[in-house]
Structure 1
Amino acid sequence: MILAAGRGERMRPLTDILPKPLQKVGDLTLIERHVTALAKAGIKHIVINLAWLGHLIEQHLGDGARFNLNIDYSYEQTALGTLGGVVNALTLFKEEQFLVISADIVTDFDFHSLLSHSIDSHDLAHLVLIEESHFKGDFSLQSHRVTMPEAQSFTYGNIGLYQRRGLMHFQPGQILDLGQYLRQLVGLNQVSGQLFSGLWSNVGTIEELDRINQLLDR
């Protein structure tokens, strides 16, 4: 699943007429970069949640045929938040375990490496963490177990595997926060993780968009 329903307030006025996932990084839009990478990794089915100007994203990507995969869209009348969007789309998922990424990051992470990863029966999530000096760390990592932040902490890279059974008790249509859910799971020792040190950039502002474009032009 690609999370693409946000308003992109910090990127206005660009996002007043074009949703953030359709902003260009290099020759491709943010969301095209993800769909292309997921297709290359062998993924055949993607769910994308939409709200603000979502019809433009659907028009741009279509049914996914040109990427050799299938895309389903989950529309939200009002954006339901990072977890609410996932819960609202649960009926569209074909597997018990699924990947969730945010549309507004740029990364060269190898998504294929997660396809063969099976979450332990006790766990409900597996997170990709990054070392990012611009952000206060969300979690720490000890022997592939995600813990609450300590002296050395890392940022959740908005790439994670999730178990459907951990979300079934939530009601669709609610505004829910993924960060709060993850902190609850970490407190219960139900989250594994890995550290990624490759290309990763959050794209939440015009300045960050310009910065990643300049970096990739080098």
Structure 2
Amino acid sequence: MKAMILAAGKGERMRPLTLHTPKPLIRAAGTPLIDYHLHALAAAGFKEVVINHAWLGQQIEDYLGDGSRYGLSIAYSPEGEPLETGGGIFRALPLLGDEPFLVVNGDIWTDYDFASLRRPIAGLAHLVMVDNPPHHPSGGDFNLLDGQLHDGGTAGEKLTYSGISVLHPKLFADCTDGAFKIAPLWREAMARGLVTGEHMRGHWIDVGTQERLAQVEQLLKERH
């Protein structure tokens, strides 16, 4: 199974840190955020990783190179214009092949074991969900019931998407090149009973602000 790290965001809420550094290269406890993902993917047995990029993307390529120092082979999917999550993954499909692949947002920190996702999926997508974080307390994204995800239920029943999933290329069968969001594709597949999910209980932080970056650093400090 191949993996894709989404690294094309501008990280505007992290300014001024991201004015001259792409968000995946922002450091937590001295290590770029993307390094944590790459080491975890390698430890989980992944060999091939695709990374999309846009804002200051050349810095990402210059820093990571071909991935050999992680024990990985890295391919890049540059985006000249913002393509959003759906469009970015669709653009990278030729690099990802015909089988389901792991996707992980470049701006999260987690101790989730990616090895648990290296297995077949029942439908078109499998999403890892987390408890609604303080910055997303009442909303949630989808309702998880008996291993299936549904676009419904009350706010209190919903969980938040972690930014970790396994997707089948067929999810994008009717898409065309350009910018588009991925959530409508999930909702359409959910309506057909083709999206499974799981509830992650481990550590997870959406590193969208400098305050949450500080949370990651505190967590890493406590772990060591």
- Same-fold call, TM cutoff 0.5: yes
Aligned to 2:71: 68
> Where does residue 196 of structure 1 map in the other structure?
200
- Once the two structures are superposed, residues 70-115 of structure 1 have per-residue CA deviations (whole angstroms, 9 ceiling, x without a partner) of 0000000012001110000000013411011100000000000111
Cα displacement (A) at 1:187: 2.3
Which residue among 105, 112, 116 is the counterpart of 2:115?
A: 112
Aligned structure 1 segments of 4 or more residues deviating by more than 2 angstroms:
none
Tell me if 1:45 matches 2:64.
Answer: no
Structure 2 Cα separation of the partners of residues 176 and 216 of structure 1: 35
Q: Is the 8 A contact 2:128 2:198 kept in 1?
A: yes
Pick one of 178, 182, 193 that aligns with 2:182.
178
- Aligned residues: CA RMSD: 1.2
Q: 1:187 aligns with which of 191, 203, 209?
A: 191
Contact 1:50 1:73 in 2 (8 A): yes
Q: Secondary structure of the residue that 2:129 maps to in structure 1?
A: strand
Q: Decide which of 32, 48, 56 is 2:35's aligned counterpart.
A: 32
Structure 2 unaligned segments of length 5 or more: list them.
none
Which residue, out of 91, 100, 105, partners 2:103? 100
Distance (Å, rounded) in 1 between the aligned partners of 2:22 and 2:130: 26
**Secondary structure in 2 aligned to 1:137?**
coil
From 128, 132, 148, the counterpart of 2:151: 148
In 2, are the aligned partners of 1:137 and 1:149 still within 8 Å (CA)?
no
Letter in 1 for 2:88: G
2:103 counterpart SS class? strand
Report the secondary structure of 1:58's partner residue. helix
Distance in 1 (CA, whole Å) between partners of 2:103 and 2:126 is: 10
Residue among 204, 212, 216 paired with 1:208: 212
- Cα distance in 1 for partners of 2:184, 2:14 equals 25
Matches of 1:49 and 1:149 in 2, distance apart? 31
SS in 2 for 1:154: strand
Following superposition, the deviation at residue 132 of structure 1 comes to: 2.2
Q: Percent identity?
A: 43
Task: Report the alpha carbon displacement of residue 211 of structure 1 after superposing the two structures with TM.
Answer: 1.9
> For residues 36 and 140 of structure 1, what CA distance do their matches in structure 2 show?
31
One-letter amino acid matched to 1:195 = H
CA contact (8 A) 1:96 1:165 kept: no
3-state DSSP class of the match of 1:84? Answer: helix
Alignment partner of 1:217 is 2:201: no
Normalised by the length of structure 2, the TM-score is 0.92
Shift of 1:153: 1.2
Aligned residue-pair number: 214
Q: Structure 1 residue 206: deviation in Å?
A: 1.2
